Amino acid sequence: MVQIPAQPYDFVFDPDKAALLIIDMQRDFVEPGGFGAMLGNDVGQLRGAIAPLVGLLAAARQAGLFVMHTREGHKPDLSDLHESKRVRGKGTMTIGDSGPMGRILIVGEPGHDIIPELYPIAGEPVIDKPGKGAFYDTELADIVAQRGLTQLIVCGVTTEVCVHTTVREANDRGIDCLVLADCTASYFPEFHETALRMIVAQGGIFGWVTDSASVISALTAPAEPAAG
């Protein structure tokens, strides 16, 4: 057990029951020509999270922390795409249409894949999710149960959409979430700040917030001597 300084109070980190969950660090969200850009966003707003995440991921792997990745997207036949999501926004292009990185938000297309800087390695589950939350219609709850996980260190994009939805889903399943301010990002900086404040308000109604340096310190801290 290691105490990690956090808001609204210290997070008691138990690496044996924790995992790093990296949400949707896909080309479709952080590179031009993908889903995020199609929605009218400035994808450059998200890129600041990449460098801190690279450092965190290296430290997590070094420490042997269990790592999971998610990708938002849909099957090529769109059988897992609700019509409500397909038509939302009334844009000229939508999910499944062809763009510069292949069909938008479709599994197997270049844009759907995780960015090279954060590419998963063997042993790190990649959870494909059709919704904003990582628990909806995925195997994540089974993995959490099988491994006895009770803590998630949550990173990725975007703070107020897929990160927030996942944190809320996890919270209702009895999982403590520690969200990293520098390893999450939004197309709207003010939404990022407010989303983080919403997590820690009311005594940590959805969880805790800290930064990658605090987690890296905890991951590299010498083990506590055994009691007695």
Given 155, 162, 177, 183, which residue is catalytic? 162
Residue range at the interface with ligand TIU (CB under 6 A); choices 56-64, 116-124, 133-141, 155-163:
155-163
- Interaction pattern, residues 82-121, with ligand TIU; x per rule: CB under 6 A: ----------------------------------------
Nearest to 179 by CA among 141, 211, 143, 205: 211
Nearest to 185 by CA among 6, 50, 89, 71: 50
CB 88 within 8 A of CB 41: no
- Interaction pattern, residues 186-205, with ligand TIU; x per rule: CB under 6 A: -x------------------
Residues 6+ apart with CB under 8 A from 188: 45, 160
With CB under 6 A as the contact rule, the residue among 72, 109, 113, 176 that binds ligand TIU is 72
Round to whole Å and give the CA distance between 6 and 90: 40
Q: How far is the CB of 161 from ligand TIU (least distance, A)?
A: 3
**Complex with ligand TIU: residue 101 or 219, whichever CB lies closer:** 101
Round to whole Å and give the CA distance between 81 and 20: 27
Q: Does the annotation count 182 as an active-site position?
A: no
Q: How far is the CB of 146 from ligand TIU (least distance, A)?
A: 25
Binding site for ligand TIU (CB under 6 A): 24, 29, 39, 72, 132, 157-158, 161-162, 187
